[in-house]
Amino acid sequence: MPHFDDDTVYVIDSKPLVYCVGARHKRPRSMTTATSGRGGHGGYGRTGFFYGFKLHAVIVDHGMLVRFAIVPGREGDPPVARALLDPQEAALVLGDRGYQGCGVYAQPKKNFKKPRHWWGAMRWVRKTIETVFSRLDRSFHLMLPQLNSERSIRAHVCRKIAAHNLGLYFGGY
């Protein structure tokens, strides 16, 4: 597992890996490791509920994925962030409001008593991970085809991430 550098800005976020939505959502499943979850609002039904997994990713500021985890959809963001980020490594990690309280520098909620300062430039750096997720969907077809096991889903996602990182490394896009 690569170690974080002290002078690099990292960004963490999660993306739903949807196995199914809609009428099929409530039917019994053969893949018991996937769970119902909520996240995202683009194409996952009106309320954002889905059945599947979540991809949690940590990227450097230029878009290379350095760490990631695939967890059941019901899993919350802070426990996964604590597992992905080592508290001994003092690096600036930006995240969204779902990661507050786990060592990630996030935009403060409105009801905080002592809010941290949030610069506008941080929003643009944090937007990098949304661009990476969009590129994984659009260019590498990250959406889950009809895969029947958690192992095949993990292999599918790992291949897509490897292709993305190789494309950045060789300057292909």
pLDDT digits (tens, 9 = 90+) for 143-158: 777 777 788 888 999 9
Nearest 10 degrees: Cα torsion 26, 28, 34, 40: -10
Closest CA to 161 of 153, 46, 127: 153
Res 21: pLDDT: 61
C-alpha 42/C-alpha 91 separation (Å) is 31
Task: Please report which confidence band the pLDDT of residue 45 belongs to, taking 50, 70 and 90 as the band edges.
Answer: very low
> Is it the case that residue 91 has pLDDT exceeding 70?
yes
Mean local confidence (pLDDT), 107-119: 65
Return the CATH number at 34.
3.30.420
- Work out how many domains the chain is built from and give that number: 1
- Amino acid at residue number 42: G
Rounded to the nearest 5 percent, the helix, strand and coil shares of the chain are 30, 25, 45
**Considering the domain boundaries, does residue 3 fall inside one?**
no
pLDDT at 18: 79
Nearest to 4 by CA among 56, 55, 57, 60: 60
pLDDT recorded at residue 32: 56
- Estimate the crossing angle of helix 150-169 against helix 120-138, to 10 degrees: 120
Examine residue 2 and state whether it is found in any structural domain, yes or no. Answer: no
φ/ψ of residue 170, rounded to 5? -90, 0
% of the chain residues with pLDDT over 90? 14
CB 119, CB 125: distance < 8 Å: no
User: Looking at the domain assignment, is residue 58 inside a domain?
Assistant: yes
Range of the domain at 104: 9-169
**Residue 110 reports pLDDT greater than 80:** no
> Taking all residues of the chain, what is their mean pLDDT, rounded to a whole number?
76
pLDDT band at 46 (very low <50, low <70, confident <90, very high): very low
Considering only CA atoms, give the Rg of the chain. Answer: 16
4: in domain: no
Average pLDDT over residues 159-167: 92
| Torsion over CA: 112, 47, 63, 87 (sign) | positive
Residue 80 backbone phi and psi in degrees, to 5 = -70, -40
Give the pLDDT confidence of 60-85 residue by residue, as tens digits. Answer: 878 899 999 999 888 888 888 888 88
